[in-house]
Chains A and B, each alone.
Chain A
């Protein structure tokens, strides 16, 4: 139950940090060539 709650929490505006982390990670991942991770 707690697990699912936190899944929902990440969808909330209060979890801006989580979305920002996701966006930052994606920008960095897309900026690199495949296989360079």
Chain B
């Protein structure tokens, strides 16, 4: 399926396709990509309040940003959100605009998590941070002004991976109980490094994140490797129409293979 002309223009001017991260370094890569995304995303709509907190994940204190669509005083459901960026770039600032949109449209509190990034913090640091943030939110409902019994998780790309892992951990430990999970272009099965593979920014990021090649088969990096995917909360899976697996059968949490698009899978043109 051809890309929308606006999307094609973004691809052609996209930093993904035009930089050698080994040459420019991680700081310049982040500066370039983060700035580019903020420019594209815009400022986002107004929300009632935005508050910052710091969460202790055991070995680090990580920032979270809390968006409320309405004034304090009413406990709202909460959506704990993990941004994209290949575990190496982007942050809660680059996710700001869309968190505002979702808070307003879903009428819920959005908690955006600034998990640690690679290469400074390698696997499983991001997982540890994501899980710590979710547990903190669940255990501090009054601080955040939420209904602690109405929680959902979600994220994009690697953020979707973190959300998937958090949903599995929540199921395994029995808490917090989640009402839903939003997995947008989630990387649920990470490929291992191959001899002679073509170097891309994606493979570079993978290699920055993982401590060793074997980490790719750890379920916390590739949650689809878990044999027991039953009992997860209701889940929204969304795919971009240029993803390699769009319109192909894809493995589902119940172990079946269903088409990525079909009568029960509404599609939206990008």
Contacts and interface: CB of A to CB of B under 8 A. Distances in A.
A15 B270 CA distance: 6
Given A4-B201, A30-B150, A12 B10 contact: yes
Given A1-B16, A11-B95, A14-B7, A30 B77 contact: yes
Given A11-B37, A34-B177, A5 B16 contact: yes
Contacts of B149: 34
Interface residues of A, number: 32
Interface in A1-37: 1-15, 17-27, 29-30, 32, 34-35, 37
Which 4 A-B residue pairings sit nearest by Cβ, starting from the closest?
A6-B240, A7-B157, A29-B180, A17-B268
Could you say which interface size class chain B belongs to?
35 or more
Given A8-B84, A11-B84, A26 B16 contact: no
Contact of B41 (A11, A25, A29): A11
Contact of B108 (A3, A12, A18, A26): A26
Contacts of A15: 270
A17 B269 contact: yes
Contacts of A5: 10-11, 14, 16, 240, 242
Secondary structure dominating the interface of B = mixed
B40 A12 contact: yes
Given A23-B102, A27-B108, 5 more contacts: A1-B201, A4-B202, A13-B42, A25-B236, A26-B108
A23 B41 CA distance: 17
Given A5-B14, A7-B157, A26 B41 contact: no
Contacts of A8: 14, 16, 37, 40, 84, 156-157
A9 B177 contact: no
Nearest to A37: B234
Interface in B233-247: 233-234, 236, 238-240, 242-244
B244 A3 contact: yes
A8 B205 CA distance: 15
17 contacts: A3-B185, A3-B243, A4-B84, A7-B156, A9-B240, A11-B37, A11-B95, A11-B156, A13-B41, A14-B6, A14-B270, A21-B268, A23-B101, A25-B180, A26-B79, A26-B182, A29-B234
